[in-house]
Amino acid sequence: MSAIETIRSYADELTAIRRDLHAHPELGLEEVRTAGIVAEKLKSWGIEVHTGVGKTGVVGVLRKGSGGPAIGLRADMDALPMDEETNLAWSSRNPGRMHACGHDGHTTILLGTARYLAEHGDFNGTVNFIFQPGEEGMGGALAMLEDRLFERFPCESIYALHNRSGLDVGKFSIAKGASAAGGAFFDITITGRGAHGARPEGSIDPLLTGCHIATALQSIVARNVPPADAAVLSVTKIVSGDAYNVIPQTAVLSGTCRAFRREVMAQMEEGMRRIAKGVAEGFGATAEVNFRTIFAPLINDDAHTDQIADAAAVLVGDENVDRNKAPGMGSEDFAFMMEKVPGAYIQVGNGPGASPHNPGYAYNDEATPYGAAMFATLVERRLAKG
């Protein structure tokens, strides 16, 4: 049987695993139950298991033949801090937590790959199955790297996938170069002078100052970033004041910046600091900027993009693999790993339905065999005997 036919023969078991993970979602760097299930399944298939990598990460190591070269396959495990509204039988049982991005599906896909390669894989080399915690802005990739991920589990290349709503099941999409934007979060704390709301002349209004800063920040993308470099700067939150008749002492502006190059991210940070300081001083206030990079830009290596796209094409036909996917402004923690080891990141069709990060989002279990078989095909082609 082919890889996908073999994986479909135990698809019911994979679906049961996925739905159990979905019903018991865990937030980033708290995936204790999830990591335990992953480790148990890997051990049952005879795969060497390492736990506690980057706190709650798991790495499975499978060697065949001479044991080298080595490649890495990565899946994320964490859920989002939100309530679910799908009314499915396997809906989240943990209030305020939901697998609204399909990481339960990604984890199951990689487990399906691991089982197939352990029981049927025909290759010569080493596969490192990397189950990453804390992808959703919690620094899970960096935690694994700080725990010497690639020193302990060397990889010549590394690959990952993500489900894509609106792309039919059985189809894939990818592109060389920039795939996902780098992302930063920022907080600008403005300090003025509080006063009675009826006597504004005695105040230095931090809220008014903040509104002018928020408006001026839009000039960074419009007037500082070259048109050839796509970038986004969004102020998403303003927090200030507690009463109708009190001009507050402080205000905090928060938001996010996105770009496809680290140099543009640095340019946006520099512009933000300059504008916040200058505008605040103009109103007699002060402004302190806390700008922190949460995600690096995700850049697909040309050769490895071809390799994973070719593996998908072997599975579903080249006509079902879009090799020119437009880059998106969403961000992906896997980018930090790809800054250390070259690789590629591909989208797997999840069919119609709500987009990720929506309370009505639902992962499509029909996508699991395609993702797992694609990974398995990639390994057997990349690590072919001889």
Spatial neighbors of 86 by CB under 8 A, at least 6 apart, are 359, 360, 361, 362
Residue 190: the pLDDT is 98
Q: Do 308 and 291 share a structural domain?
A: no
Q: What is the pTM of this model?
A: 0.94
Number of domains in the chain: 2
The DSSP symbol for 311 reads H
Alpha-carbon distance of 195 to 202, in angstroms, equals 6
Q: Residue 51: give the domain boundaries.
A: 3-179+297-382
Q: How far is CA 19 from CA 23, 102, 271, 365, in A?
A: 6, 11, 46, 9
Residue 98: what pLDDT? 98
| Ranges of the chain with pLDDT below 50 | none
Same domain, 167 and 188: no
**Do the Cβ atoms of 114 and 129 come closer than 8 Å?**
yes
Q: What is the pLDDT of residues 244-279, one digit of tens each?
A: 999 999 999 999 999 999 999 999 999 999 999 999
Residues 342 and 353 in one domain: yes
Three-state SS at 235? strand
CATH assignment of the domain containing 226:
3.30.70.360
Among 348, 351, 345, 350, CA closest to 332: 345
Does residue 100 sit in the same domain as residue 143? yes
Residue 386: its pLDDT value, please? 72
Residues 43 and 143 both lie in one domain: yes
